[in-house]
Structures are given as structure tokens and as C-alpha cells.
Structure 1
Amino acid sequence: MLIGAVVIAIGVALLMRHAVRAPEGELTHKGGMRLVLWLGGIIPTVVLLGLLAYSLPFMKPRPTAPADLRIGVEGEQFWWRVIYRPAGAPAVTSANEVRIPVGRTVAFELAAGDVVHSFWIPGLAGKMDMIPGRTNRLVVRADAPGRYRGQCTEFCGLSHALMAFDVVAMPAPAFDAWLARERQPATAVADAAGARAFAANGCAACHSVRGAGATSAIGPDLTHFGTRRTLAAGILPMTTANVAAFIRHPEAAKPGVRMPAFPHISQAEATEIARYLQGLK
């Protein structure tokens, strides 16, 4: 893009120089047609072919083998619903973080629950739009362990720029063990006060915690919330203070978010809920 912009700028500068210095009436009809041909056809073609040749070595080939794993990702304002669909096993729901096995082909099945979003992992694959009522497919394969940053790239509302996620590529055996743990209910936690506050303030009306009686699928699944590295779809570090602040005033971190504010919850009670959630492993 930068190269193209430089070429266009040079062309415009040359045209302006010619227009200033050329005597009035010098350009004939034939000369004008020749100028149009060069500037409108030949030069743009050469520039585009050059850009194509430059970019081809950086393009990763798309995997052609059948997918070893299907992962559904649904864009919401402003978070990601993630559903692992392994062959021959029940689906596993998570949110805002994606894990994939190294060396295996993964098919992302992309959809949207409200408005148009776009799923992009620049270090791993191209981008694909997520459209309500339609499922698009993006096939990827990670060749080495690592963490890849993802981002929504289609304007979807006030917090569009704050809708990110991480893709964690894990060695295949480690991924299999992780998925088996993810399928299980949340581990028992000692923070009974936080669990009571979670229930008393109606958090289960929107969120699911498997094994704890919370089954709603309106908001992000919180079953293994404590294993995630970030909060609020990749924009905040996972700390007790950040979780408590987000519970009380989510719109301060994400304008336009659908989660209601809970200003009536005291700071102490919000901290209890935050500790309870961080204990869900």
C-alpha cells in the first residue's frame, strides 16, 4: 500500500509540474489520449503486478486437508462466543480466547449473533466476515506453538476497537488434555461468599457456570473463567481489581456493552464475586 501511494504521489506531482510548465494549448487530442492510456492503464497495471509479485512470497498457503477440529466462533457486541466441536464428542463452549492444536487443521465456523463482525488473526490467517444468519468457514493450521492476537475488523459499534481475542497454539497432546479439562464442570471453590454474591445479584441470568446451576447462554460462558489471561475480550489484564471494576461499571471499559451496570453492588461484594470467578479453573 505504501509503495502504491508513493507511485501515485509521484504521478500526481509530475502531472502538476507538466500542467504548470506546459504552454496553453500544447496538449493535442492525440497526446491527451496517449496520456490517459499511460496513466489510466499501463502504469496502474505495472504497479499492481509489481505489488502482487512483492506480496506473493508472504502469503501462506491455505490448508487443503479435511479439518481435524471444528471450532465455532460467534461475534457478539463486543465479545466472542467460542464452541469447540470435536468429532465424536460433545461440544464445549468458552469465550474470548481460542486454543488450537499445533500441526492439525482447524476449521473456524464463523457467524454473528447481532451485527456484522469480522474475524482476523493477522499472524496466522486472513480475515473473514461474520454475518448474521450465515456461516463462513476459515481453515487454518499453526505450525509452531505460540500466541496470536486476533481482532474484529468490521465496525460493529462503539467498542468495535475493543473487541479482541487471543489464539493460543498448543502442542497437540497438551491441547487434548486441556480440552478434556475444559469439558468438565468448574472445580469446587472455597470462596463461598463470592458464589453466594454471584447468585444473589442475578449473574446466572446471563452467564453459564457448568456444575454450579448457572445455565444461561446470553452472555459469555464463565465455567473456566479463571484460566483466561485477559478480561473483556482481550482488552484488560485478568486481575481481581479489573474484574471487580468491570462487574460494577462495564461501560467504563467498553462503551455500548450490553451487560448492565451494577453500581448498587459494593466494592467489597464485587471483589468477592471477582475472586469467585477467578477461582473457576
Structure 2
Amino acid sequence: MKIARASLLVAHLLLLSGCTGDPQSALNAEGPSAMELRGLIFLFVAVCGVVFILVMAVMVWALVRRKNQAPRRPQTERSMGRAVGAAIVATFIVITLLTIASFYTTRSIDWREADTATIVVRGQQWWWQFTYLDADPAKTFLTANELHIPVGTDIRLRLEATDVIHSFWVPNLTGKQDLVPGRENELTLHASKPGIYRGQCAEFCGLQHSHMALLVIAEEPEDYDRWLEAQRSAAYEPTDSDAVAGKLVFMNKPCAACHAIRGTGAAGTSGPDLTHVGSRSMIGAGLLENTRGSVAAWIADPQTLKPGNNMPLVPLTGEELRQLSAYMSELR
């Protein structure tokens, strides 16, 4: 268990340091929406900086002038009144202009036209489910926590929530948008260059809110098409003897009641689809690096690693755990 906790710490340090790709920052914009938001941030900082400097200058001038000034006269009082009135008008104008700039920036983000099929993003406690829709239902598939998109293309996301309000936020690519139970919101995602961009839930959603991360993997169109074809296929049949035995463990234990693996009898819907779980870089919504040891630690005691999550403790022998982790690692 100490090894699992150490792996958890290393994974978080890697994510926060930006080792999975570009540093997570709204100022490190790599998409049109993020660039517009960055411009809005710079505008706010510049205007507020100028206002701060002017206020400080006027305050210093007033203090110096008051020290050397004779007793107030009526004309002095009138001058001060005009100055205060001018300041109120200037404040109103600045706030109005910033509000208009904010409105149009937000509107331009929400109304971008998407070029490709919609991806349904569903927030769960505490992980992300992605459904890649296709006109042919046989080509529609589900994955979890890692969102692949082609570079240079506007991707329309349909945002939904199962349980509580979540918020989808990938700072490098776009702004925040809430996922509200019973309501569909939309967001456009666009990456200008290949890379791995970290995001997370930005709305407090319960005990493990801070452990609800996601990765957006932006790929060249040809690489994305290859990934799509691989994900649409059924799960690979295991070849390693431990993995073959692990498949039997999975099917005979409660695992198959909660998780789906296409091409097998497992068709559960309450947990992430595991058809190609071995191809993902992280498990537990960014909690641990996806290694066989991490998978075994998660299966052995998910409540210690992520207290409150919906995966129950499944009693397994050491041999069954070894076999099951081998099977999960082969699902690529």
C-alpha cells in the first residue's frame, strides 16, 4: 500500500509539473478559444493596472497637496466634487467596456461551428465518460478519462452529468462549461498543435473532486483516424497464460456487472468501459500511472486509494489479482 501511495504522489507531481505535455495554464493557449480568453485576461490586467497606477498617483498627489494647502475654500470643494464625479463616470465606462468585452469573448467561444461528429462528455463521480458518436451505431464507442481529438479541427462536445454538477475545463484549449444533470450544454474544443493537455473538473462535486482529472490528446488527423479504428474494434483476445486466466476471473467475479468489455459477455454500465483500458496512460481519472502494479493496487483496494468512489472491494486471492491485472494490461 505504501508503494501505491508513492505512485499516486509521483503521478500527481508529473501532472502538475506539466510532464504529460504543455503546462496547464490559461496563459499557455493552444487553441482559438483559449487565445481569446487569454486576450481577455490581458485586457483586464492592463486596464486594472492602469486604474491602480492612476489611483495611487492621485492619492499621493492629494496627500502632498493637502499637506501644503491652506484651509479649504468653496472653489476647492467644487473642484473636489467634479473630480469625484469624473471618477464615478470613468468607473462606469470602464466596467461597462470590460463587461461587453467579456460577453462577446464568451459568446464567440460558445458559438464556434464544429467540423466533426459530436463527442458526448458525461461527468460521473469521479471520472469522465466519453462517447464518440457516429452515424453508424456500430462505430459508436465509449472510453474514459482520456479524450483524443484531431489537431486543427473544431470538435463539438455535448456536456452531460449523471449525478451532480461538474465543470469541464481544459485551460490550454478552452474555457469552463458546466455539466448539469437533466440539461445539455455544449462546448467547442480546438487544438492548434499536437500535444497532451491536462484538464479537470472545476466545480466542487464531492469528496474526490480534486481527483477528477482528464487528458486531452491532440493528434495529427492520420494518427487520430488510426486511434479511432483501434478503439472501435472489440477487445483483443489475451495470449499470455496469466491474462487468459485473468479474463475468466473478470467474467466470474462481480467485475462484469459494472464494466463493459466489447467482444465479451461483460456489459456493465455503472463503471468505465474497459475494452481498451490498457492503452490509456492513467487510471482512476488521473490518480495513478497505468502500469500493471498500479492496476493491481487499484483492484486490491480502491477505497484506500480513492475513498468514496463507487467501486466496491472485490475479494480476490493473490493469484487472481495477478491474473486479473495481466488481463487489464493486455486490453490495448
Q: TM-score, normalised by structure 2?
A: 0.70
Matched, 1:228 2:276: no
Instruction: State how far apart, in whole Å, the 2-side matches of 1:241 and 1:8 are.
Output: 55
Partner residue in 1 for 2:119 = 71
Which SS does the other structure have where 1:261 is aligned?
coil
Cα deviation per residue 1:49-81 (whole Å; 9 max; x = unaligned)? 58998xx99x99677444312100100000011
2:321 to 256, 261, 270: 270
Query: Gapped runs of 5+ residues in structure 1?
Result: none
Structure 1 residues 140 and 197, CA, compared in 2 at 3 Å: closer, same or farther? same
Partner residue in 2 for 1:280 = 331
**Whose strand proportion is higher, 1 or 2?**
1
Cα deviation per residue 1:192-225 (whole Å; 9 max; x = unaligned)? 2211222232101100011121001111000000
Instruction: State how far apart, in whole Å, the 2-side matches of 1:280 and 1:203 are.
Output: 15
Is residue 117–residue 129 contact of structure 1 (8 Å, CA) maintained in 2? yes
Task: Report the AA paired with residue 321 of structure 2.
Answer: A
Which SS does the other structure have where 1:150 is aligned?
strand
Structure 1 residues 79 and 33, CA, compared in 2 at 3 Å: closer, same or farther? farther
Instruction: State how far apart, in whole Å, the 2-side matches of 1:169 and 1:121 are.
Output: 12
Partner residue in 2 for 1:135 = 184
Shift of 1:252: 2.2
Of all paired residues, the percent bearing the same amino acid is 37
Matched, 1:202 2:251: no
Shift of 1:30: 9.5
Instruction: State how far apart, in whole Å, the 2-side matches of 1:36 and 1:200 are.
Output: 78
2:211 to 162, 171, 181: 162
Instruction: State how far apart, in whole Å, the 2-side matches of 1:268 and 1:6 are.
Output: 64
Is residue 109–residue 188 contact of structure 2 (8 Å, CA) maintained in 1? no
**Whose helix proportion is higher, 1 or 2?**
2
Cα deviation per residue 1:105-143 (whole Å; 9 max; x = unaligned)? 211011001000011111111111001011111122223
Partner residue in 2 for 1:241 = 293
Instruction: State how far apart, in whole Å, the 1-side matches of 2:82 and 2:121 are.
Output: 52
Structure 1 residues 126 and 266, CA, compared in 2 at 3 Å: closer, same or farther? same
User: What is the number of equivalent residue pairs in this alignment?
Assistant: 276
Partner residue in 2 for 1:122 = 171
Which SS does the other structure have where 1:277 is aligned?
helix
Structure 1 residues 239 and 44, CA, compared in 2 at 3 Å: closer, same or farther? farther
Partner residue in 2 for 1:101 = 150
1:172 to 216, 221, 233: 221
Instruction: State how far apart, in whole Å, the 1-side matches of 2:115 and 2:134 are.
Output: 10
Which residues of 2 match residues 139-154 of structure 1 at below 5 A?
139-154=188-203
Shift of 1:178: 1.4
Query: Gapped runs of 5+ residues in structure 2?
Result: 1-43
Partner residue in 1 for 2:40 = none
Partner residue in 1 for 2:12 = none
Which SS does the other structure have where 1:252 is aligned?
helix
Shift of 1:246: 1.1
Matched, 1:80 2:132: no
Task: Report the AA paired with residue 131 of structure 2.
Answer: I
